[in-house]
Amino acid sequence: MESRIRPRAANTDPPPSRIERLCIERGLKMTGQRRLIARVLSEAEDHPDVEDVYRRALALDSKVSIATVYRTVRLLEENGILERRDFGGGRARYDPADRGHHHHLIDVDSGKVIEFADEEFEALARAMARRLGFDLVGQRLELFGRKVEAEPTRSGGRSKARSS
Amino acid sequence: MESRIRPRAANTDPPPSRIERLCIERGLKMTGQRRLIARVLSEAEDHPDVEDVYRRALALDSKVSIATVYRTVRLLEENGILERRDFGGGRARYDPADRGHHHHLIDVDSGKVIEFADEEFEALARAMARRLGFDLVGQRLELFGRKVEAEPTRSGGRSKARSS
DNA sequence: CTAAATGCAAAGGCTTTGCAAGTTC
DNA sequence: GAACTTGCAAAGCCTTTGCATTTAG
């Protein structure tokens, strides 16, 4: 039955978030908590750790426990919706998987993380693995850098970057 | 039997290990435990975690506590003698820093780690950072691969690899 | 209604630390 | 002898889990 004929499911019924839709596609049972966490993650533009997700979820609606956040991010990871990252510091950070394949450049001064993709690197990675006798099934690349004084070479190039 | 007058220090007095020498250079106080741990690390050809180091040290001379191993690897790391790695799995692994700049390819089936270096990649990493407006100060590259059936392309190339 | 999700608190790994006793320089 | 190192056990993080209760489908 089409429930969208409802006169006003106003403030209690925000539209499904991007990640909520992915959950539904995969047939995951959607509870209030999961919807909430999905929303927090959908809106995140950074790489939150579990604490971050928990805090943001609480701020929206204080009906989650941290255990549920842990269980949910694990579930999402197992379903390929999130990717777990480890930038050091002991805690795992999460990154929506549908942002596409990308790597990270960490600004060592500010701690900011910049995402970028680079086709040339992808090709090289495959080649390096192949040279060692392997098929590449995954990779992890992190660059640590410091802002250069002069203007960067005009980024007309092959890399597409997005700061976060 | 005390110190016999012997031409050279025999079985009770092994020559200082590579890492022990580095410690001395840096003016670190050398205790029996540190010498032992230094030796274990000098002889390691892999990427041992603290447990590994502890076990190997115990096997040589059961006079270390795990707390000391933790304290020592941290000290060595702070002194640039070891590098801490994180290949996932929750525990830190250690890698002598003087092996030169290299990366890792993890065989996803066996868990074995292969070290390799690649000049082309080094150059590309610098270029990618530069393109984003940064000077490269560090990097981390890990490839995950699966052994290819056919023979690898003859490795006449630019990469030098060493299995561990 | 049934299988699955949640909360809570307890427990589990890895790592660090306070303190007394032992060593190095 | 002063300062540092070690051992031991306790404590700290982050994360997982057992169990009773609630909830989605």
Q: Write out residues whose CB is closer than 7 A to strand C.
A: A 28-29, 31, 33-34, 63-65, 67-68, 71-72, 75; B 29-32, 49-51, 66-67, 70-71, 74, 90-92
Regarding whether A48 and A20 lie in a shared domain, the answer is yes
Would you say residue A161 has pLDDT above 70? no
B81 vs A10, higher pLDDT = B81
Structure tokens at A63: 């009906």
Residue A33: nearest nucleotide (C-alpha to C1'): C6
Whether residue B106 is contained in a domain is answered as yes
Can you tell me the distance from the alpha carbon of B102 to that of B116, in angstroms, rounded to the nearest whole number? 5
Whether residue A160 is contained in a domain is answered as no
Q: Rounded mean pLDDT of A143-159?
A: 64
| A 133-152 near B (Cβ less than 8 A) | 133-148, 151-152
pLDDT at B160: 56
Helix, strand and coil percent figures for chain A, each rounded to 5? 40, 25, 40
Regarding whether B80 and B29 lie in a shared domain, the answer is yes
Regarding whether B137 and B120 lie in a shared domain, the answer is yes
The pTM for the full model equals 0.77
Regarding whether A65 and A23 lie in a shared domain, the answer is yes
Measured between CA atoms, how close is B31 to chain A, in angstroms?
A: 30
pLDDT at A97: 79
Taking alpha carbons only, the member of B149, B112, B162 closest to residue A134 is: B149
What CATH code is carried by the domain that includes residue A142?
Answer: 3.30.1490.190
Regarding whether A123 and A86 lie in a shared domain, the answer is no
Question: Are residues A145 and B153, on separate chains, in Cβ contact within 8 Å?
Answer: no
Number of domains into which chain A is organized? 2
Would you say residue B35 has pLDDT above 70? yes
Regarding whether B123 and B133 lie in a shared domain, the answer is yes
Regarding whether A86 and A56 lie in a shared domain, the answer is yes
Q: Is B101 annotated as a binding residue?
A: yes
Q: Nucleic chain D: which protein residues 40-59 of B have CB below 7 A from it?
A: none
| Confidence at B76, pLDDT banded by 50, 70, 90 | very high
- End position of a domain, from candidates B73, B99, B125: B99
- End position of a domain, from candidates A61, A76, A99: A99
Mean pLDDT of chain B: 84
Regarding whether B80 and B139 lie in a shared domain, the answer is no
Q: Is A104 annotated as a binding residue?
A: no
Regarding whether A61 and A35 lie in a shared domain, the answer is yes
Whether residue B157 is contained in a domain is answered as no
Whether residue B63 is contained in a domain is answered as yes
Regarding whether A118 and A62 lie in a shared domain, the answer is no
Which domain does A57 fall in, by range?
A: 16-99
pLDDT at A108: 74
Regarding whether B95 and B55 lie in a shared domain, the answer is yes
CA–C1' gap, B90 and C15, in angstroms: 11
pLDDT at B89: 73
pLDDT (tens digit, 9 = 90+) per residue, A106-124?
887 777 788 899 999 999 9
Taking alpha carbons only, the member of B108, B109, B121, B110 closest to residue B161 is: B121
If 0-12 CB within 10 Å is exposed, 13-18 middle and 19+ buried, where does residue B4 land? exposed
Question: Are residues B131 and A153, on separate chains, in Cβ contact within 8 Å?
Answer: yes
Regarding whether A74 and A124 lie in a shared domain, the answer is no
Can you tell me the distance from the alpha carbon of A86 to that of B59, in angstroms, rounded to the nearest whole number? 33
